[in-house]
């Protein structure tokens, strides 16, 4: 297979708990759509979720996007970080703190990778309801390392934080 021109399926988790959270998610979709040889195909419902780790901050709006892209994982990660930066997120942000936008690569095809700057699938994927629930709006893929579907992972997910599905939509037709 010619990997350089292959169209990869990427699931991106997005979250925002600052300023206009819905606008931030929509802006992130616009900017992802502007990346070279990349398009956002679907977006989940928007979920309202309790912050984890550092509770003295606003609740999040979370969603998952399904993309097709010819970019390799490294290039795609770099461009996601650039979008976060462009939208006003400081590079030296606090790990669990408030954020205008957070973009995580949840799945990149069935790829696996375990470097600190890029771990695939995302290391917290199976531990977070705010990722598993929106992802399940779009698909129920098998986790390439754990060998379980997202639905199965949700059933054993240790996350007990509050989360609710909202009526907001991000993309028409999805």
Q: Distance between terminal CA atoms of the chain? A: 30
Q: Name which of 21 and 122 has its Cβ closer to ligand AMP.
A: 122
Nearest distance from C-beta of residue 14 to ligand AMP, angstroms: 11
**Cα(71)–Cα(90) distance, rounded to whole angstroms?**
24
Nearest distance from C-beta of residue 64 to ligand AMP, angstroms: 13
**Phi/psi of residue 161, nearest 5 degrees:** -75, 160
Nearest distance from C-beta of residue 172 to ligand AMP, angstroms: 27
DSSP states of 59-107: PEEEEEEEEEE-S-HHHHHHHHHHHHHHTT--TT--TTS--S-EEEEEE
Q: Name which of 77 and 163 has its Cβ closer to ligand AMP.
A: 77
Nearest distance from C-beta of residue 88 to ligand AMP, angstroms: 14
Q: Name which of 102 and 159 has its Cβ closer to ligand AMP.
A: 102
Q: Name which of 51 and 172 has its Cβ closer to ligand AMP.
A: 51
Q: Name which of 22 and 118 has its Cβ closer to ligand AMP.
A: 118
CA-to-CA dists, residue 2 to 40, 64, 70, 149, 160, angstroms:
22, 28, 11, 28, 43
Nearest distance from C-beta of residue 167 to ligand AMP, angstroms: 27
**Cα(18)–Cα(22) distance, rounded to whole angstroms?**
10
Site residues (vs ligand AMP, CB under 6 A): 77, 95, 102, 104-105, 117-120, 122
Number of H helices, E strands in the chain: 4, 8
């Amino acid at each position: 297979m010619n990997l350089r021109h292959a169209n990869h399926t990427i699931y991106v988790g997005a979250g925002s708990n600052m300023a206009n959270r819905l606008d931030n998610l929509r802006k992130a979709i616009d900017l992802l759509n502007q990346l070279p040889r990349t398009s956002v195909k679907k977006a989940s419902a928007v979920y309202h979720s309790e912050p984890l780790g550092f509770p003295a901050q606003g609740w999040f709006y979370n969603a998952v996007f399904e993309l097709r892209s010819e970019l390799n994982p490294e290039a795609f990660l770099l461009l996601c970080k650039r979008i976060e930066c462009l939208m006003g997120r400081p590079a030296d942000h606090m790990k669990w703190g408030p954020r205008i936008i957070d973009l995580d690569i949840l799945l990149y095809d069935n790829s696996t990778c375990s470097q600190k700057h890029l771990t695939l699938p995302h290391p917290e994927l199976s531990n977070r309801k705010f990722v598993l629930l929106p992802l399940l709006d779009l698909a129920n893929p098998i986790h390439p390392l754990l060998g379980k579907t997202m639905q199965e992972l949700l059933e054993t997910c240790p996350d007990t934080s509050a989360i609710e599905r909202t009526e907001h939509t991000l993309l028409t037709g999805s």
